[in-house]
Chain A
Amino acid sequence: MEIQQLLSKYMLEISKVTNEETLYSALSGILKRVIEINALNVIRSNEIIYSEPSNVYIEKETFADYVPWVEERLYPTFLPLEEVYIGLIPIFKGRKLLATIVIKTNNEPTAEVMDYVQLLAYLSGITLENLRLLDFVDKAREYFESIINLSNDGIIVLNQNDEPEFINSKAKEIINIFPTIIDTILEHVYIQEEFFEIEENNLFFSISTKEVDLLGEKKILINVRNITSEKEVQKLKEVDKIKTNFIANISHELRTPLAAIKAYVETILNMPMSQEEIQEFLGVVYNQSLRLEELLNDLLDFSQLESHTMKILKERVNICDVINNSVISVSKMAEDKSVNIIVNCEDILINCDRRRIEQVIINLLTNAIKFSDPSKEEKYVKVNLNDTDNKVQIIVEDNGIGIPSDKLDKIFEKFYRVDNELTYSIPGTGLGLSIVKEIVELHGGRIEVESDVGKYTKFVVTLPKE
């Protein structure tokens, strides 16, 4: 057979090869064109991995000692036996042996046959190496995928059309609980953001994205990390910091009235004073005691709030009475600050804890007065009562300094003061509104706030009538 014909046939056969077995079968077909073959075995690492006809094995003892020699020398060889020749053909690439083909033939090989066999061994080596490389690439891909799947981060790869072409196990979990996450991420990617955080249903995710180019195709790599627990820890740390602030704060708050009481009583004890002066001094002492009591009540309420032991004792109450009583309680303070309290209410009977609701209204009024705007000429607090079917709304609105919009959701948190830094420009424990909220919620109601800095603050307490 002409070498060119042989080669073109070989090339055609090789192009159809998909695995080692078909390669050996093709190679055997080609070898049969140049030499008659009784049997063909393929050895790899001392094991027969292919045989033709199937299950026909050439007697190993006839050639075994030559195998290492051939595999080292990398030339085909033919061993003359009594009647037959055993051909050993190493298949290799570079210096790497890939397999050894053993054939049994009755024909004595000519110089041409040996040349052909050597050529086929070279060409098959390249094909076999490629097959094994493909297999290796496949296995390597699986290997890397299993590594990526082990990651505690979600990893997603989007193709040119922004469709996911790879999603690791963790990312699948995340998509299960947050199916629109890819769209949400893409919104950020479109505006050239690479690192960002997103929130969904109280779950927080930190995202990093990177555009890569694989063989001319643009892809987006996305790393999704669930940082919800980190966020919680962060929150706890903040609470901890606030508690520390609170202790400093409350110590100061307790010390101020106590110092006053101590100083006034000392004066009374050590100085000759008129009855009038003593009366005046005792008035101050009394007021400071009230302040102390108030603080201690706050603390007591707070501890109940923390331990969830606050109890509500409901009774039939005219809510308008409660409002009026509260206004009377703060009238002195309002007068001092020149704040005008305007009440507009009608008699409505509801079921509630009178003392606690009074505490709520007093607290809201006190805040309104405390944070009145000294620069305004007419300072006021309006208290309105709305009657809606089975609910009442108590609206406390002032024209005070207002609350910045970014702090609005925090004012009900324990210990929170908008002026969180220890300035003490306005006294308070920072507990008031959190207690208020707890009381309102224990009643099955809710409290809302709206405000505009420098203009007004409006609290709306909604309580069920029953």
Chain B
Amino acid sequence: MSFSQCWQVYRERPFWRLVELFVERIFRGGGDTDAEGVDLGVGLVLTLLAMPGGFVSVLLFDKYGSLLQWLRGQLNVDTLLISLPDEYFFIVLSMTVTGAVAVWRWDAMFPDRRDYMNLTHLPISSRTILFANLVAVLFLAALLAIDVNGASCVLFPMVVSAAQGTLPFFLKFAALHAAAVVLASVFAFFAVFSILGTLMALLPPTLFRRVSSYARGIVVVYLVTLLCTSFAVPDMLRRATAAAPPWSFFFPSAWFVSACQLLRNRANPAMAELARLCLPGLAGVIVVAIGAYATGYRRHFVKIAEIADNAVTLHKPKFSFSLLDKVLLSTPFLRGCFRFVTKTLMRSEAHRLVLTGVSGLTLVLASQALMNAFQGTPSWREAALTPDALSIPFIITFLLIIGLRVVFEIPVEIRANWVFQLLLDADGQESEPLARRIILTAILPWVLAGTFAAYFYLEGLAIASLHTVLLLVWSVLLTNILLIRFCKLPFTCSLPVFKQHSIVILISFCFGYLIYAGSTPEFEAAALREPLRMLELLPLVLVGWYVPRHFAKSAIEIERRMIFEESAPRTVEGLRLSE
């Protein structure tokens, strides 16, 4: 009997039919609203999740290929030693991807109001629903652990053992690698699930709703930190010979890589100490997750009807837009849409999560730059003029501006955009000014004020002014470039389709980052000693100013119209002669 036939028999039973329903809900979205989420389809989601591990493994051929090692003059290479950073990276990748999926599906992991309304009147006990959902969650954890790590479990050991060429080495390496990444994945999933369950178990439903998104944000920042530090941690672990450094206890990825090294007889005492946390930690999060799930379920699902009745109590927000209306928002379009966009940014969980992720990345990169600035420089004043310190506000503005620009593309409740289609003038060409105002008012005031204040205190008025003006000009130019031919109201248009030039855009972002947050502070560090050298940037500023204006002028009328649906350009346009 094939698996599908076997499943057909099982799904006749109510319990397994419920499991199927809950698995589908977890993949296709949940929550209490009827919001139209980004439904990518199960197959595509699993493929996307499997890709990073596979890609990274393939990229490592260059490092482990014996011919390339020989060409580089690297003879007698200790494969296990050089594989430690990669092993650690795979563990972190596994945890990050799984953790991110768990955060993404956070709302869908517990039965929601829709389940309550559809299931509780049926002759099914509450306990059956509880267990069916738990089985669905466990299935998801197993599926993620296999899917996220499947490619790397095969490819990475193959790549590493290519130079060794012995089957026992390959098998042993593959088994330990698979165990480490799969257990790390399971750990990450249950860690997120236990945070969710614990919050549900401890907090009343209304408070949980408010706290939930902040908790998700913190988890995202933690995952980004884990990923960003993955290149430094293995080296620090290798050097910590005596005892495990205190910070490493907060990095579960370090526990798993240490356990892996211990089983390969390559662990130093610090790693051996960390390795001992691995299994108890895993067992701990699973127990907490399941315990908290059961308690949270009792508190929330069973009382959903009461929550619905009590949900209608909020206060009028106190923030006033009147000053912005007078200064920046001169037309009804700008006034109405500015409010809509800012409220969406503040309240839509999907958008907040993406922005939190970007903020986490910004925080990590800015912290690294700050740490680098203090290496070898004795005083704050000297450190402040190093390229690393000067780059901090550039890093912040670049990533946040790009982050906001990307977030604008994510639709929210797309079916509700009829109100804008009905009310807005599609030919008004106000989308771009609106987006510019939102980006610049959201980011620039506090970054510029902070930068000016810090440099005024440390270096005096002249340097503070120059640094702040350069930052302002660069931010405005970057915003203008990013908004070339932007003709949408943020959040109201369908997701952009993948185009052939999307990869070019991605590479341009990386290249742009190097210029904006790398080369500019380098130049600035030298130019601040001779301020007249700043004038050398003038041609670049003029080009940056001219290019977006040129694109705006050269756009034909149809390209300037506001759009609410992003569609792939048709290769063949029908003449519609029959109409």
A and B pair up: no
Q: Which residues of B contact A (CB under 8 A)?
A: none
